[in-house]
Structure 1
Amino acid sequence: MAEHGAVSSVLLRMSGAWPLSTAAREFASAGVPVFPCVAYGKRPATGHGFHDATTDLDQVQAWWRQSPGANIGVPTGAASEVVVVDLDVHGPVDGRTSFDRAMRAGLVDGWELLVRTPTGGLHAYYPATPGTEQRSWQAGRAGIDFRGDGGYIIVPPSTRSIQGTTVGYQVETINTRPAGLLDSNALRDFLDPRPAPRPRPETWQPAGRDDAQRLAAWLDRQDTDRNLKLFWASCRLAEGGVPLNDALDAVLTAAKSDFGPREITATVRSAYRTVRGEPARHGPSSPPVRGASPQVEDGWFRRDASAATGTSRVRGL
């Protein structure tokens, strides 16, 4: 269990009478980088946003001397060692309901404190997990955003202008027990589960060196369209990195009398030129392949002994 961090420690001792400049200086003195945001708003008032956050007291004082009403921004994640679960309340979306569900599931225990936001939502503060990147994310349908690495929050005593009324960020509830680390990935998966990946259809696998002999055995069993099938299968061998000579040797060894060496050599070479991006010379012995692969009843692409003997059905040739 982790103890309360620097951000929460400053908020716990904060007086309601602190001006924004004093609060900003207190955060910086405690080692929490801060940066100014526009008065009554959330937009950063510096050129690089939260990337400009600093603990340099001279810079912090200069910023709030120039803009005394600037709200206080704090980068979340490793920079400040705090992460925040942001519960939004907008129309039919109520993040508090989602947070309650996550609480019952034991996923959001251990927050340090809860801060009421001007729009009626809540910020739940947690210590950042040491040595682990916790990227910010949004679960819009659940009404919850996670502010971690790559994000920032506005902290008390900052204020917002809501329909002409000034409303402040206020600490609402303090957890006096030791704080716990938040598994932000588990929370995201709970709030916004990702669909299970669809199983991939069985297709041919890239060929390897041992498939040259399997190709030869398969071709030896074909009676029709062997030239077209040889060209297509030779392309797969080339894509799998089988040397051209290996493919030629295997096929020529198993060639039938009506499927001569010149025809075989021309077709295999044409396939290899095509795969390697070289222009292939199409002719009677090297037909171009268009569309789907030739359909056969058994296949040499299976990686088992039955494929070479023709006792199993084809997977993808």
Structure 2
Amino acid sequence: MRTGKTTTTTNKSPMTGQAVKLLRRGWSVIPVHIPLPNGDCSCGNDCSWPGKHPRIPWRPYTENLPTEAQVIEWFDEEFFGANLGVVTGQVSDLVVVDVDGTIDDFQALGLPRTRAVLTGGGGYHFYYRNGREPTPSGISVTPGIDIKADGGFVVSPPSLHLSGFNYEWLDRRRILTKISPSDLPQRAHVSSPNGEWAGELLGGVSEGERSATTARLAGRYAQIGLTADEATMLLVTWNTQNDPPLSDRELGATIRSVYTRHTRRNEEQIRTVGDLADLFAKIHGKGDE
């Protein structure tokens, strides 16, 4: 009769085993907040992205993997029941194409097949290896399709979505396909800023600079064509790096204020152009009447 030691899993989060498995694969993993049954977020704030933002300041894990002991402590003790996040980019040798649409939308990009996740919201995450080449995150290829790479992260199976459904792997037997940045589709909009903006986005700022930097970043996002919802998604993640973070209420109010001003300016420009057209018509006439 075969005997052996019995492993006790009492009070152990089912997420721990998956987190350790991904860590041993070489992926940087982090704990993420969960959505509550009433639609709120476990962060306890007026949250714009319930169950989709990290529970920790996660900037260090864009450069180095956490230890296995740290991961176990997170998911078994400190943040028991947390969702699971995977940091993308060079640290994990991962690029993820985030499709908030259909398989047809993804296939239209002409990218090779690879391992995929069905998100709880009905979208897809397509995971690729990128040979640890520098690849910017936040590239919006087309409306509803974004690239997650350096400085980004995705929520990973079997995490819980606000919809009540779990994220799940599709075709576990398929291996991750390797692509290079040049293989990725041409960007339509860049939703993560370059230069000094990237430093602010990834590094966070101190207490006296949070509101002003939020407004600057939101203004930049508005200028390059992002919607307020898209800007909020990026800034909620960025805000976790601040010391201390703004409340979700303050963050949301600043973003709304910036986008309201941006919309008002655009409307004023449209009115001005319309007035010029009317003036031109009056000067030159509309023809003999």
Question: Which structure has more RCO (C-alpha within 8 Å, separation ≥ 6)?
Answer: 2
Q: TM-score, normalised by structure 1?
A: 0.45
Q: TM-score, normalised by structure 2?
A: 0.49
